[in-house]
């Protein structure tokens, strides 16, 4: 079990990033959340198997078709046993 918190910078708001991220995370069976940050970035936390988290991080580096991702910052956290994936904020 692995949990990673990410911050994604670039053109990531107003391009369906959160909705697409949530759809992909649910498809991969991940728990966690995604939200828009006030500074124009997107923040998310993904929790699940190592393989699923790695696949999600790979997805975040490109995002949905309208996004332009400039940077993805990753921070490992202790798993919290979350269930389900939600869009917050």
**Catalytic residue (choose from 18, 26, 51, 80):** 18
**Catalytic residue (choose from 5, 36, 51, 86):** 36
Is 61 known to be catalytic?
A: no
Is 27 known to be catalytic?
A: no
**3-class SS letters over 41-85:** CEEEEEEECHHHHHHHHHHHCCCCCCCEEEEEEEEEECCCCCCCE
C-alpha 42, offset from chain centre: 8
Crossing angle of the two packed helices 17-27 and 50-60, in degrees rounded to 10: 160
Active site residues: 18, 36
């Amino acid at each position: 079990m692995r949990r990673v918190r990410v911050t994604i910078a670039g053109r990531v708001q107003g391009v369906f990033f959160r909705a697409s991220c949530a759809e992909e995370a649910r498809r991969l069976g991940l728990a966690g959340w995604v939200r828009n940050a006030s500074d124009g970035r997107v923040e998310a936390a993904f929790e699940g198997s190592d393989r699923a988290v790695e696949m999600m991080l790979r997805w975040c580096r490109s995002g949905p078709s309208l996004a332009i991702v400039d940077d993805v910052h990753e921070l490992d956290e202790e798993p919290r046993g979350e269930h389900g994936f939600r869009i917050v904020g």
